Structure 1
Amino acid sequence: MRWIVLALLFLGMIINFADKSIIGLAAVPIMKEFNLSYSQWGLVGSSYYWLYPVTGIIGAAWADRIGAKKMLGLLMLTWAVLQFGVLGITGFFVLIVYRVLLGAFEGPFSPISYSHAHNWFPPKLRGFANSVVVSGATVGAMVVAPLLVALITILGWRWAFAILGAASLVWFVLIQFTPESPKDAEGKQKTAKKKLEKLNVKAFLTLLSSPSALFTTLAYFSTYIFVVWISVWLPVYLVKVIKMSSVQMGYAVAGIGIVSVGVYIAISIISDRLFKKNQNWRVSRVYVVGFSMMAGALAMISTLVFQNAIWVIVAMCLAKGLTYAILPIGPTIVINLMPDRGSLMTSILTSSGNIAGIIGPMLTGFIIELAGDNTALGFNQSILFMGAIILLFAILFSIYVKPDIKTNPEAN
């Protein structure tokens, strides 16, 4: 059953990130239809994250009370309604409102999924399990790009969005046939629910400000700037700067997604095997992720020097695969700091990181417009900024995060 649950979480993340990324794939026709500038488009990309961090924490905390399965189903049902509602979008303002609401209800899905997978899998498989969940995000954001581009081209962007709403309805039905948790975890889950009302808030906030929690969150934050850039700006970058056609862009985005999945799943497997062998969080989790992120940042920056289309695709494959290592491993680190509140801990991690979703698109649009007619320079400056931020926080993460040393905020 755990593999069935994992498969559903994988499919759920595909839908989640297809919902996010389709706006980028449809950027050119939407900008043309509503006559939007780069700054306005940056606002559209950013609006998705305006409520995302807050609802991510609230929704995940609620999931600790009512159960992850029930909460995930409710979220998916809401997505379906919103995606069908796209058929009624008539202008820039309504587009912004739609993106804000979609982000608000999609915010809790990732942290709850990580926590749900954590409950179903033993420690030696959790890195791999979370990497499968994360790979669903990559498939949804990138691998299915040619299909989404085809739907946009043939049916128009509104009906392409509505089809994703139908997929959400199917997933909602399927999740109803799975149990909430494995039988051997039911006792632990009940205990955790009893402890929810006894949380020592002061000690909890102290835990969140500890080096392990703080620098894991900052590393996640820095990578998420790149996550959002890929979703909102990569298709535009490939068309406007690298001079690809829409079809070539779709296949390039898919190729980057497929290769990067293999890279960060391999990193997660290496991390799991090291942890199984030595039970050392610093070596198996922190160093593996930290060094991967550093290498990924350097690959990203290399595109400023070599802008050949082939190298850009190769570099983006490496950059995405290596920097994304924090996405499956980061949740295992913060959950380890407070195991009884897995959804809450992962929601704080992902929601704090998703603040990058508010800042990143608008900042990129601003940087591009500052470059004037030199669009390529603007995109290159945004890539340099992202690479530098990821490199800095990867170094700090490697130095200061020590998950083996933790404080229990439930204790007085």
Structure 2
Amino acid sequence: MTASKLPDLALSTSDTPDTPGSPRYRPLRAWAVLLLLAVFMVLNFADRISLALAAQPLIRELHLSASEFGLISSSFYFLYSVSAVGVGFLATRHVPLKWLLFLMSLLWAATQLPVFLFASGGVLLGTRVGLGMAEGPATAVANSTAYSWFPPHRRGLPTALLTSGASVAKLVAAPLLTVLIVREGWRSAFLALAIAGLVWCVVWFFGGRTGPFAPAPVATPDAASRAARRRTFLTVVRSRTFLVLLLATYPMYALISVVLSWLPSYLEAGLGFSPITSGFLFGLPSIIGMVVMLGAGWVTDRLLAAGASARVAHGLVPTLALALGGVLLTLLPLAGGSRYVAYALLVAGYCLTLVAQPIVYAAIGTAAAPSQRTSVLSLFIALQSTSGIIAPWATGALVDAAGDRVSGYNTAFLVLGALIAAGGLVAARFCDPGRDAAHDAPA
């Protein structure tokens, strides 16, 4: 095929650093935008965990069972995957990433206000569905915006920083929101997050933009171009790497959804910690998680710079971390009555699984053609996140069915740990992002 037939697949020099005519890396501007994106991801996860932090007073006031609360938590994921895929494809068709991020944050703020004003089980269910729909594309769009500011060999650390937004939210936002809930009532947390979201929108309006490494704008594709794009897209999503990484991270994402929904309740109602202590302990794993994710991103960047293959840096590192983290989670029931041993096992296993998340996203981004990176990442995250539709509700059902709450929580973590360990080992055997990489047609 000639280049004239594939104008929309022309590879921008944005993905070829340090060559004549290539875009110039501007570290100060790049890191300033990355900082705004990191705050965006912190708000993303703070909105999610607000329900978990308010769980016990909310359950008592609204007279909810564990299963009903689990269903409300799971409802966040009802439209999460659909919106992730849909917005991912919009971004691929060059709807400006800046305005997608602005609109998402505005919608997040809008879903918090009804809970503050007139909370009920039905309102919580509806607003969580709306919040999930607005947050579904966040990770893929934020990462794609960050990639537009950094050349390929510098993307590991920024990806890890954005992924660590969950850790920062639990480390910083969780204790603050917990104190606010204890002193002012659980509804006040939702009002505070609505205000924070609106403030971010204003700052991003004036300071946000995409960078010089974004794929070049393209013309409307003809039939041949669309067919070529479909083949390129399917090359990645049908690849062994895409499929085994999805298999490995599916239960990992289920674990994340359970932790974001149930960990404060597990610490308070299961292990017997006070509400304030539970809020702070909820954030403690974030210190370790953030360090290991940033460290893993730095290590993989150094491995690639030293000539290591993508199979080693983006394949074996995350999948073996998943396997080890899963094994530690399966040991949780052996803690018996020691709440500190149980907490230590949970933190260690959970943080090891977190190592994999940014590296896996980098692996999928590496395998995807540059012009389709957002849509491929969006599809991967959308499929991965469907585990959240089941996991929080199933955990609540296990807690209701168990003779005591600790047994119900332990059963959930045992099952998730076993699935994570098995998936990690399978992916370690078959994952190879370099082998399965797709490329845009040359200009």
What TM-score, normalized to structure 2?
0.87
Which of 116, 120, 123 pairs up with 1:87? 116
Aligned to 2:71: 43
Which of 322, 342, 362 pairs up with 1:312? 342
Per the alignment, do residues 381 and 32 of structure 1 end up closer, same or farther by CA in structure 2, a change over 3 Å counting?
same
Counterpart CA distance in 2 for 1:125 and 1:325 is 18
Structure 1 counterpart of 2:366, one-letter code: N
Deviation at residue 256 of structure 1 after TM alignment: 1.3
Counterpart CA distance in 2 for 1:142 and 1:351 is 26
Aligned to 2:360: 330
* Count of aligned residue pairs for this structure pair: 409
**SS in structure 2 opposite 1:275?**
helix
Aligned to 1:159: 188
Deviation at residue 251 of structure 1 after TM alignment: 1.4
Structure 2 counterpart of 1:227, one-letter code: I
Deviation at residue 193 of structure 1 after TM alignment: 7.8
Bigger mean CA offset, 273-282 vs 192-201: 192-201
Map residues 266-345 of structure 1 onto 2, 5 A cutoff. 266-307=295-336, 308-338=338-368, 339-345=370-376
Aligned to 2:10: none
CA offsets, 1:319-372, max 9 Å, x none?
22210122211221112222211211111111111101101011112222232x
Map residues 8-407 of structure 1 onto 2, 5 A cutoff. 8-64=36-92, 65-178=94-207, 180-183=209-212, 185=213, 188-191=215-218, 197=226, 200-201=229-230, 204-307=233-336, 308-338=338-368, 339-371=370-402, 373-406=403-436
Provide structure 1 residue ranges, at least 5 long, that are not aligned to the other structure.
none
Provide structure 2 residue ranges, at least 5 long, that are not aligned to the other structure.
1-28
CA offsets, 1:257-316, max 9 Å, x none?
112211221122111111111141011111111111112112222222125233333323
| Larger-Rg structure | 2
Per the alignment, do residues 124 and 159 of structure 1 end up closer, same or farther by CA in structure 2, a change over 3 Å counting?
same
CA offsets, 1:4-26, max 9 Å, x none?
11111110111110000010010
- Asked if the contact 2:167–2:285 (Cα under 8 Å) also holds between the matched residues in 1, the reply is no
- Asked if the contact 1:337–1:408 (Cα under 8 Å) also holds between the matched residues in 2, the reply is yes
- Asked if the contact 2:116–2:187 (Cα under 8 Å) also holds between the matched residues in 1, the reply is yes
Per the alignment, do residues 310 and 23 of structure 1 end up closer, same or farther by CA in structure 2, a change over 3 Å counting?
same
Structure 1 counterpart of 2:106, one-letter code: L
Counterpart CA distance in 2 for 1:121 and 1:315 is 36
Structure 2 counterpart of 1:98, one-letter code: T
- Asked if the contact 1:262–1:321 (Cα under 8 Å) also holds between the matched residues in 2, the reply is no
Structure 1 counterpart of 2:216, one-letter code: Q
CA offsets, 1:175-204, max 9 Å, x none?
123353323x35x33149869855543553
**SS in structure 2 opposite 1:189?**
coil
Counterpart CA distance in 2 for 1:130 and 1:137 is 13
Counterpart CA distance in 1 for 2:118 and 2:429 is 48
Counterpart CA distance in 1 for 2:46 and 2:226 is 36
Deviation at residue 146 of structure 1 after TM alignment: 1.2
Structure 2 counterpart of 1:60, one-letter code: G
Deviation at residue 143 of structure 1 after TM alignment: 3.7
Tell me which protein shows more helix as a share of its residues.
Answer: 1
- Asked if the contact 1:21–1:231 (Cα under 8 Å) also holds between the matched residues in 2, the reply is yes
- Asked if the contact 1:10–1:133 (Cα under 8 Å) also holds between the matched residues in 2, the reply is yes
Per the alignment, do residues 60 and 193 of structure 1 end up closer, same or farther by CA in structure 2, a change over 3 Å counting?
farther
What TM-score, normalized to structure 1?
0.94
- Asked if the contact 2:246–2:380 (Cα under 8 Å) also holds between the matched residues in 1, the reply is yes
- Asked if the contact 1:275–1:285 (Cα under 8 Å) also holds between the matched residues in 2, the reply is no
